[in-house]
Structure 1
Amino acid sequence: MTYPVATIVFVALIAFVIVLGFVAGRWKAGNMDSIEEWGLGGRRFGTLISWFLIGGDTYTAYTFIAIPALMFGAGAIGFFAVPYTVVCYPILFLVFPKLWKVARNHGYITGPEFVRGRYGNRWLALAIGVTGIIATMPYIALQLIGMQTIIGALGIPGHIPLIAAFAVLAAFTYTSGLRAPAMISIVKDSLIYLTVIVAVIVIPTELGGFSAIFAHVAPAKLILPTPPAGSTGAYTSYATLALGSAMALFLYPHTTTGILSASGPRVIKRNAALLPAYTFVLGLLALLGFMAVAAGLAKMPQFAAGFAQYHASFAIPALMLYAFPGWFAGVAFAAIAIGALVPAAIMSIASANIFTRDIYKQFASATSPSTETLIAKLFSIVMVVGAVLFILAIPNTYAVQLQLLGGMWIIQTFPAIAFSVFTRFFNGWALLIGWAVGIVSATYLAALNHLMGAIWAFHILGYTVPSYIAFATVILNAVIAAVLSVPFNAIASDRARDATKAADYAA
Structure 2
Amino acid sequence: MKHGVNVTALVVFVLFFVAVTVMGFLASRWRRADDAQHLDEWGLGGRSFGTWVTWFLLGGDLYTAYTFIAVPAAVYGAGAAGFFAVPYTIIAYPLVFLFLPRLWSVARVHGYVTPADFVRGRYGSRGLSLAVAVTGILATMPYIALQLVGIQAVLDTLGVGGGANSNWFVKDLPLFLAFAVLAAYTYSSGLRAPALIAFVKDTLVYIVIIVAVIYIPMRLGGYGHIFDTAAQKFNTVNPKTGKPAGSMVTGPNAQWAYATLALGSSLALFMYPHTVTGVLAAKSRNTVRRNMAILPAYSLMLGLLALLGFMAIAAGMGKGVKGYNAQLAVPQLFAGLFPDWFTGVAFAAIGIGALVPAAIMSIAAANLFTRNIYKEFLKPDATPAQETKVAKLSSLLVKVGALAFVLGMDKQFAINLQLLGGLWIMQTFVSIVGGLFTRWFHRWALLAGWAVGMVYGTWKTYGIASPATKHFGGNTAVIPGIGQIGFIGFTAFVLNLIVAVVLTVVLRAAKAPEGADETRREDYSAEAGEAAVDNAPVPAAAH
TM-score using structure 2 length: 0.88
1:4 aligned partner, one-letter code:
V
Aligned mate of 1:387, from 402, 417, 420: 402
Where do residues 483-498 of structure 1 align in structure 2 (5 Å cutoff)?
A: 483-492=502-511, 497-498=516-517
Which stretch shifts more, 184-193 or 362-371?
Answer: 362-371
Tell me how far apart the structure 2 counterparts of residues 496 and 271 of structure 1 sit (CA, whole Å).
34
1:186 aligned partner, one-letter code:
F
Report if aligned partners of 1:412, 1:438 keep a CA contact under 8 Å in 2.
yes
For these two proteins, the number of residue pairs brought into alignment is 494
Where do residues 417-436 of structure 1 align in structure 2 (5 Å cutoff)?
A: 417-436=432-451
Report if aligned partners of 1:166, 1:341 keep a CA contact under 8 Å in 2.
no
Which stretch shifts more, 288-297 or 386-395?
Answer: 386-395
Aligned mate of 1:261, from 260, 273, 281: 281
Aligned position for 1:329: 343
Which stretch shifts more, 387-396 or 6-15?
Answer: 387-396
Which deviations, in whole Å up to 9, do the C-alpha atoms of 1:358-415 show, x marking residues without a partner? 0011111321110111000110111123323443455536976554432211100000
Tell me how far apart the structure 2 counterparts of residues 240 and 197 of structure 1 sit (CA, whole Å).
31
Where do residues 304-383 of structure 1 align in structure 2 (5 Å cutoff)?
A: 311-365=325-379, 366-383=381-398
Which deviations, in whole Å up to 9, do the C-alpha atoms of 1:422-465 show, x marking residues without a partner? 111101111000101111111222233332221122354xx632
- Name the SS for the 1:453 alignment partner: coil
- Structure 1 gaps of 5+ residues are 228-232
Aligned position for 2:493: 474
Aligned position for 2:248: 223
Tell me how far apart the structure 2 counterparts of residues 398 and 193 of structure 1 sit (CA, whole Å).
25
1:426 aligned partner, one-letter code:
F
- Name the SS for the 1:91 alignment partner: helix
Report if aligned partners of 1:129, 1:358 keep a CA contact under 8 Å in 2.
yes
Displacement after TM superposition at 1:215 (Å): 1.0
Aligned mate of 1:45, from 44, 49, 73: 49
Aligned position for 2:182: 169
Tell me how far apart the structure 2 counterparts of residues 252 and 102 of structure 1 sit (CA, whole Å).
18
- Name the SS for the 1:497 alignment partner: coil
More helix by share: 1
Report if aligned partners of 2:40, 2:46 keep a CA contact under 8 Å in 1.
yes
1:334 aligned partner, one-letter code:
A
Tell me how far apart the structure 2 counterparts of residues 354 and 272 of structure 1 sit (CA, whole Å).
24
Displacement after TM superposition at 1:190 (Å): 0.5
Matched, 1:286 2:311: no
Tell me how far apart the structure 1 counterparts of residues 216 and 415 of structure 2 sit (CA, whole Å).
30
Aligned mate of 1:196, from 209, 215, 221: 209
Aligned position for 2:431: 416
Tell me how far apart the structure 2 counterparts of residues 144 and 396 of structure 1 sit (CA, whole Å).
11
Displacement after TM superposition at 1:495 (Å): 5.2
- Name the SS for the 2:382 alignment partner: coil
Report if aligned partners of 2:54, 2:278 keep a CA contact under 8 Å in 1.
yes
Displacement after TM superposition at 1:63 (Å): 2.2
Aligned mate of 1:11, from 2, 10, 14: 14
1:56 aligned partner, one-letter code:
G
Report if aligned partners of 1:428, 1:494 keep a CA contact under 8 Å in 2.
no
- Name the SS for the 1:498 alignment partner: coil
Tell me how far apart the structure 2 counterparts of residues 13 and 261 of structure 1 sit (CA, whole Å).
26
- Name the SS for the 1:456 alignment partner: strand
Report if aligned partners of 1:138, 1:399 keep a CA contact under 8 Å in 2.
no
Tell me how far apart the structure 2 counterparts of residues 178 and 235 of structure 1 sit (CA, whole Å).
39
Aligned position for 1:437: 452
Aligned position for 2:65: 61
Aligned position for 1:230: none
Give aligned-pair identity as a percent.
54
Which deviations, in whole Å up to 9, do the C-alpha atoms of 1:75-127 show, x marking residues without a partner? 01000000001111012211110001000000000001100000000000000
Tell me how far apart the structure 2 counterparts of residues 242 and 71 of structure 1 sit (CA, whole Å).
15
Where do residues 81-120 of structure 1 align in structure 2 (5 Å cutoff)?
A: 81-120=85-124
Q: Measured at CA, do residues 90 and 339 of structure 1 come closer, stay the same or move farther in structure 2, by a change above 3 Å?
A: same
Runs of 4+ aligned structure 1 residues displaced above 6 Å come to none
Aligned position for 1:457: 478
Report if aligned partners of 2:449, 2:495 keep a CA contact under 8 Å in 1.
yes
